């Protein structure tokens, strides 16, 4: 069971399961704007296992021109999750809202051609914007020291 919350704590959620796939550190302009940072760190979670426990009435959404719907906390502005209309069975979860360690060891850098010039490279696998991700994930997984590779 994973638990998370918005920045002010008025919205709390739980995930009755685990996150799917690797952590994506995305450098595209949309993710940079959404996170207010040089990149966003997200992972997929099945929509059916995500449950907003407290503060559901405070969750608002807006739709990006590309169709992705972003759900955020009206109380503090924190992004809670996003939903891609092409993948309705999964949500994209910003990992900064988790209140625990999700214990995911796999990481990828994506859309690096959009990376802000002031960010240094991290040495994680690099996938250029528009490049197919799924076929290369298993060969590019990087695990932190001490975490067994699957």
Q: What CATH number did the domain enclosing 68 receive? A: 2.170.150.70
Give buried/exposed letters for 115-149 (b at 16+ CB in 10 A, else e): beeeeeeeebbbbeeeeeeeeebeebbbeeeeeee
Q: Give me the pLDDT at residue 142, please.
A: 47
Average pLDDT (97-101) is 93
Please report whether residue 145 resides in a domain.
Answer: no
Please report whether residue 150 resides in a domain.
Answer: no
- Residue 64, classed as helix, strand or coil, is coil
Please report whether residue 147 resides in a domain.
Answer: no
Domain count for the chain, please give it: 1
35 — pLDDT class (breaks 50, 70, 90): confident
Q: Give me the pLDDT at residue 105, please.
A: 74
Residue 32 DSSP label: H
Please report whether residue 50 resides in a domain.
Answer: yes
Please report whether residue 94 resides in a domain.
Answer: yes
Please report whether residue 32 resides in a domain.
Answer: yes
Please report whether residue 149 resides in a domain.
Answer: no
Is residue 45 packed enough to be buried (19+ CB in 10 Å), middle (13-18) or exposed (0-12)?
buried
Q: Give me the pLDDT at residue 135, please.
A: 52
pLDDT digits (tens, 9 = 90+) for 45-95: 999 999 999 999 999 999 987 888 999 999 999 999 999 999 899 999 999
Query: Between 49 and 118, whose confidence is greater?
Result: 49
Statement: the pTM of the whole predicted model exceeds 0.85: no
Please report whether residue 148 resides in a domain.
Answer: no
Domain that holds residue 8: 2-140
Token output for 58: 């405070």
pLDDT at 17 over 90: no
Q: Give me the pLDDT at residue 141, please.
A: 47
């Amino acid at each position: 069971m994973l638990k998370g919350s918005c920045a002010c704590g008025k919205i709390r959620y739980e995930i009755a399961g685990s996150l799917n796939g690797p952590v994506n550190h995305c450098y595209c302009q949309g993710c940079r704007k959404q996170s207010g940072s040089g990149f966003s760190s997200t992972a997929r979670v099945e929509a059916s296992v995500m449950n907003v426990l407290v503060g559901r009435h405070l969750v608002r959404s807006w739709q990006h021109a590309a169709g992705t719907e972003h759900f955020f906390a009206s109380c503090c502005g924190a992004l809670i999750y996003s939903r891609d209309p092409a993948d309705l069975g999964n949500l994209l979860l910003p990992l900064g809202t988790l209140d625990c360690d999700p214990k995911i060891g796999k990481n990828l850098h994506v859309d690096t051609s959009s990376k802000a010039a002031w960010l240094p490279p991290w040495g994680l696998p690099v996938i250029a914007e528009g490049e197919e991700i799924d076929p290369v994930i298993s060969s590019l997984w990087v695990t932190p020291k001490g975490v067994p590779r699957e």
